[in-house]
Amino acid sequence: MRSRRLGAALKRYREAAKLDQQHAADHIVGSTTKISRIEAGQVSARPGDVRLLLELYGVEDREVYQRLEQLARDSNKRGWWLDFPWVVKNEGFADFVTLETDATYIRTWQSLFIPGLLQTDAYIRALMELSPTLHAPEAIEEAVAIRQARRKIIEDNGAQYAAVIWEPALTAPMPSRKTHSDQLLHIHQVAQRQNVSLQVLPTSEWQTAHMSSHFVMFNFASEPAPQAVAFDTTSSTVILEDVEDMAKHVQIFERLRSAALTPNQSLTFIQRVIKDVSETEEEAG
């Protein structure tokens, strides 16, 4: 995934400079096959080659040099997720976690579930117990440990995080009232962090909610536009990297944000739902 991002960036700069792959190959004393494989993300470029290519393409921004050279260094870097067999076996999810770990700005839309980076352990366990592929207790605990590590992306690493959640995902009954209450309390706490923006889309905004199924967008460093969009299916993780796909999802996300409650209104809404769930629990007790 990192090699693909690096290759795509180098290709954009080459095409902007109106140079072909032969020019690039000659400049680094390589072959067009090597340039083609680098741009396709099949192999990673060496930091020195990245520097030479950016110079050839007329790139002057030193931040671009630093970012892409670092990406070249990190391309073969071992990620924490490789310690988990389940991630290793699911290449699409491994790519997703790589994007998530490297991102500096993450935007997500969820209509059915609590977004992954906001899920509590109890909520995750409840979901995993319903999974058609995870049955063994150790597999469920591995899934919980993976989610715990992922939460650090916004809790420790400080990535900017913006989430829009449809109201039913927050108000619909969960496996237990305690799971429900604890999950909402956790969201309320995280939503008050400086790097987090959370908005609730009211149930009444039915048309807006159905513009798209769930998705996550990723930005990296100073890149003004997202570089990838991802979403889950029942059996895999799909990652889109086409520029047109990025533009469409940015437009959808901005419409969702415009139709949603403001962050402060959303906090008030969640407080009210917590109160309702707690009162219902007391009545049941």
Q: What is the pLDDT of residue 132?
A: 64
Tally Cβ neighbours within 10 Å of residue 216.
26
Specify the pTM: 0.83
User: Tell me, what DSSP letter sits at residue 114?
Assistant: -
Instruction: Say yes or no: domain 2-74 is CATH 1.10.260.40.
Output: yes
Residues 6+ apart with CB under 8 A from 213: 111, 231
Domain boundaries, the chain: 2-74, 80-284
pLDDT in tens, 76-108: 777 777 788 777 677 788 889 889 988 999 999
In the chain, % of residues over pLDDT 70:
94
Instruction: Say yes or no: domain 80-284 is CATH 3.30.70.
Output: no
pLDDT higher at 52 or 128: 52
pLDDT in tens, 133-184: 656 778 788 888 988 889 988 988 778 999 999 999 999 999 899 999 999 9
Question: Is residue 73 exposed (0-12), middle (13-18) or buried (19+ Cβ within 10 Å)?
Answer: middle
Can you tell me the distance from the alpha carbon of 188 to that of 193, in angstroms, rounded to the nearest whole number?
Answer: 10
pLDDT higher at 127 or 224: 127
